[in-house]
Structure 1
Amino acid sequence: MIKLNETDFDKVINVIEGKAKTVPTFSYSVLNNFIRGIVYTDSNTPETVLIGTESGIYFVAGKEDNQEFNDFLFDLYCQRKSKKLRFTLFSSTEYWNCLINEQFKDNIKQMSRYSFVFDNKKQFHDKNILVSDYFIRRINEELITNSPEFNEDYYKEYWGSVSNFIKNGFGYCILHKGKVVSECTSIFSSLQFSEIDIATHEDYRGLGLASIIAKTFIGHCLENDIIPRWDCDILNKSSIRLAEKLGFGNPVKYSIFV
């Protein structure tokens, strides 16, 4: 296998976009050097590609019938599992799903997710109105320190560091009496996309805060020519309802393996 230098990451764009139902945002995050990651290919003229984050999230795409590459993929899984490290694999096609199940057998579990498409013609007629004592703020280092959900550990896992998130990502939160009660942040971002991660404190659910803060996040995306993205488990009905309310539709089903 060949481990590409960062200067050669652009070689794989055509492979992943031409042979995948959906390409996860973290792949673009790595390829655009928004986060540190690794790219493996089968040759200097790539036909099969594996893109990974430092935290252990991978995306495989391209030519499927490459046994040497498939063996390498399984060996990588075994190495990480032996060290008790994360290994989450995003598949690009139904054929890859079959090959992964055949190669990994009972070692890995298949799960189904939806990737939604945002309708950039969506107009929000209701305003983001908050009652007194509630305020919207852009996420900064101080707010991350006080966050119950998207804390320093979260940004270290997905962004490598809080400082890298501040540099290359963005997010917004709602404060109530100085307390972070609802947040919408970019779990991954790239030059073109930003994937939404959202959480509301259990004591503040049912108040419409998630919708308000998500609209703030989407507004930032649109003002900066970034396409917002929404992915979730196919069984997460509340996430699906919120996605549809916010203008996300036409979900594409894909698989991950954990």
Structure 2
Amino acid sequence: MIYEANSDVKKKLFPIFKGINDTMILSCLQGYMGKAYVDNIEKPTAAEIIVGVFVFFAGDEKAKAAGELLNNLPEDCFVVASTVGWKSSIEEIHKGHADKFQRYAFKKDIKYLNYDHIKSFLSTLPEGYELRKVDKAIAYDKSFHEVSEDFTAQFNSIDDYLNRGIGFCILHEGKVVCGASSYSIYDNGIEIEIDTHPGYRRQGLATVAAAGLILDCLDRGIYPSWDAANLISVHLAEKLGYVMEGPYDTYHIVDRQPESLK
């Protein structure tokens, strides 16, 4: 049997997840968003964190409830595990439904983010486009959500996003065509989400939107964390000053038909 962790139990999970350097884990364990599940309330040995479509496993992959944790997934999700043992179990239980690929982590150190360098990209915005901080009018605008539902999806409501989140977007002819926003939040920072409307890509808009968001975070004294899903995102991050730490295994699991551990 598995149990949903309350705030007290979450405090016990920091050592278990120490091996995974992802801010979404902090978002959950610090009580901002997401859910955590454990094999034992009093003394958890295996644990799972779910924030949106991202799932993280850590602890003892041989625990009695490990199989149940591994079957406790959203319909379409991205799974990260801390050990070879967890990865082997993921591949066994979700065989035929787990597509393994590489995401890319970056060093989380503000010293790499040069304010003036990042600010220089603001002047590259093409004529006819406008960089705007997300306000109530934009947050409720249909075009903002058409670019990406993930800008606000992890918040309780749009008003909650306006109260706790941060976003910058680029407008063209009155519509949002690109945005950089807080996918998730934690004590001292945010996890960045960037998306551009398909018809407006390859114009440098994402660079400008990201620069606006990063500068705002630096002004606030919080860290704008970047984690890349592909090499395009890697190159954009490096252009802005981020330094890559390295790739890590991720599983995209969809249309799953869970099987029990053998």
TM range (shorter): 0.7 to 0.9
Task: Check whether the contact 1:91–1:254 (CA below 8 A) recurs between aligned residues.
Answer: no
For residue 73 of structure 1, give the secondary structure of its aligned residue in structure 2.
Answer: helix
- Matched residue type, 1:173: C
For residue 213 of structure 1, give the secondary structure of its aligned residue in structure 2.
Answer: helix
Written as runs of structure 1 = structure 2, the 5 A alignment for 1:31-180 is 31-35=29-33, 37-43=34-40, 44-53=42-51, 55-66=52-63, 68-77=64-73, 85-121=75-111, 122-123=113-114, 124-125=116-117, 126=120, 128-129=122-123, 130=125, 133-146=128-141, 148=143, 150-151=145-146, 153-155=149-151, 157-180=153-176
Q: Deviations over 1:222-243 (max 9, x none)?
A: 222322222223xx33211111
For residue 226 of structure 2, give the secondary structure of its aligned residue in structure 1.
Answer: strand
Q: Deviations over 1:89-124 (max 9, x none)?
A: 222233321232133333433222111225523323
Task: Check whether the contact 1:70–1:103 (CA below 8 A) recurs between aligned residues.
Answer: no
- Counterpart Cα distance in 2 of 1:157 and 1:253: 26
- Counterpart Cα distance in 2 of 1:4 and 1:216: 36
Q: How many equivalent pairs are there?
A: 244
Written as runs of structure 1 = structure 2, the 5 A alignment for 1:197-208 is 197-208=193-204
TM-score (norm 1): 0.81
- Counterpart Cα distance in 2 of 1:115 and 1:150: 26
Tell me by how many angstroms 1:245 deviates.
0.4
> Which residue is 1:243 aligned to?
237
> Which residue is 2:246 aligned to?
252
> Which residue is 2:24 aligned to?
26
Task: Check whether the contact 2:10–2:36 (CA below 8 A) recurs between aligned residues.
Answer: yes
Structure 2 gaps, min length 5: 254-262
- Matched residue type, 2:130: F
- Counterpart Cα distance in 1 of 2:9 and 2:234: 37
TM-score (norm 2): 0.80
Task: Check whether the contact 2:104–2:244 (CA below 8 A) recurs between aligned residues.
Answer: no
Identical-residue share of aligned pairs (%): 28
- CA gap of 1:105–1:165, structure 2 versus 1, over 3 A, is same
Structure 1 gaps, min length 5: none
- Matched residue type, 2:240: L
Q: Which moved more, 1:237-246 or 1:223-232?
A: 223-232
Task: Check whether the contact 2:55–2:77 (CA below 8 A) recurs between aligned residues.
Answer: yes
